[in-house]
Amino acid sequence: MRLFINQNIFQPLFKKNMKYFIKTFGCRVNFTESDELKQELSKKLTYTTSEKDSDIIIIRACSVTAKAEQKVRQEIRKHKRAQKNIYVLGCFRQKIPEANKYFESDKSFLRFIDNVDYDKRRSLCKQLPAKDISGLSPEYRLPKKENRTRAFIKIQDGCDFECSFCITRLLRGKSRCKSQSQIIKQIKIKEAQGFKEIVLTGINILLYPDIHNLIKNILKQSTIPRIRFGSIDPRLINDRFIKLFKNPRLMPHMHLSLQSGSEIILKRMTRPIKIQKIRTIAKQLRAINPLFNLSADIIVGFLDETEKDFEKTLKLAKKLKLSKIHYFPYSPRPGTSAENKKKLPAKLITARLQKIKKLDNVLQQEAIDNLKNKKIQILFESFQKGFYIGYSPNFIRIKYPSKKNLTNYLKEIIISL
């Protein structure tokens, strides 16, 4: 196996007219980075949606959970058997010893590119002939307009916290941010391409220095009608940030990296926060807009989570009236402080997952019911099986029949159930 783990010993691989395919795992940041990468490679290579027809396979990996990491390994093995040239980026590179263990018999090109180095140096792009990348700016070039209405703008990467369960901080490094000028430039390009909504993404976006000022400048220097945020750490939410949502261009929806409704469990996660603060945040946001929706990540079965701890999580989900719960079982990750702690029985975790799934179904329906008979502006994104699909400002998926093409169109409709 030829395994390249240092950008200084990369060897030229890409040739003119080669086709490449990108497979992305994990979070929205990963998908955003994959979209941006397409433009980096577009001057020399041809993107294909067919894995079989591709000469190069680029895998943007995820190791946040053991299940995600397993899927990445399976993907690499599949393309290894096809003797493809494989590049692995994202949250996997730092686990090279483990990668050697699984792929030591590989005969194809298999290259792991460090996530932090890639972010700094754009290592993959450097393998194209210099004359073909002379026009690349220091920041990512933006993808050409596709049939999309929502654009994702990465403003930040990495994290400065040390949550006991989280491997992301080890794989992504310390927090680092794009400049305001870079961000606003990207937004203006997206606006010119016809996008009507942007989502500001990152690993922990409220670590952006003075994000309040950034948003103020985005609102001042662009006219894009809809602005959303990626996942938000509730510990970093303050009154200044909440007041930003008084501007109608900021959509009334927030996804919280909540993880638990038990202060005991949150302390074990090294994520101390008073539950009352979270309730107050919800109250303040709904004072601005009664239809403000909150969704959240919940980890089930973290270290000695008691039935009482779990019930507190369910209680908080109800109290917050979450419109969507992204729930998943706790998965010990190498290098984290919680790695070697005793796990709860799988049967118990499965039972709790079933309970939270039932609650999620109920809460989602309640969020939908809240829109009944209300006039809501919908941004339509696609057409599926006779209906146009779009999203309300508070991020409820809407189906609407129309003979007129509504893709990338903002339209006020009355919601009927």
Inside any domain, residue 224: yes
| Domains contained in the chain, number | 4
Task: For residues 162 and 232, state if they share a domain.
Answer: yes
Task: For residues 243 and 327, state if they share a domain.
Answer: no
Task: Give yes or no for a contact between 333 and 339, defined as CB atoms under 8 angstroms apart.
Answer: yes
Task: For residues 361 and 410, state if they share a domain.
Answer: no
Q: Which residue in this structure is represented by tokens 């603060």?
A: 277
Task: For residues 75 and 118, state if they share a domain.
Answer: yes
| pLDDT score, position 395 | 97
Secondary element (H or E) of residue 259: strand 253-259
Write phi, then psi, for 30 (nearest 5 degrees). -60, -45
Inside any domain, residue 294: yes
Write phi, then psi, for 23 (nearest 5 degrees). -115, 125
The last residue of one of the domains, among 110, 132, 154, is 132
Inside any domain, residue 227: yes
Find the domain containing 224 and state its range.
145-251
Give the separation between CA 329 and CA 20, rounded to whole angstroms. 34
| pLDDT score, position 57 | 83
The last residue of one of the domains, among 216, 251, 286, is 251
| pLDDT score, position 130 | 26
| pLDDT score, position 92 | 67
- CATH number of the domain enclosing 34: 3.40.50
The last residue of one of the domains, among 88, 106, 132, is 132
| pLDDT score, position 287 | 98
Inside any domain, residue 190: yes
Task: List average pLDDT for each run of 10 residues in the chain, which is 417 residues long.
Answer: 30 63 79 75 77 82 74 78 75 54 52 54 36 28 54 91 87 88 94 94 93 97 97 97 98 98 97 97 98 97 95 98 96 84 92 98 97 96 92 96 93 89
pTM of model > 0.75: yes
Inside any domain, residue 137: no
Question: Which residues are CB-contacts of 329 (< 8 A; sequence separation ≥ 6)?
Answer: 299, 300, 301, 349, 350, 353
| pLDDT score, position 2 | 30
| pLDDT score, position 20 | 82
| pLDDT score, position 135 | 29
Task: For residues 366 and 379, state if they share a domain.
Answer: no
| pLDDT score, position 326 | 95
Using DSSP's 3-state secondary structure scheme, residue 95 falls into helix
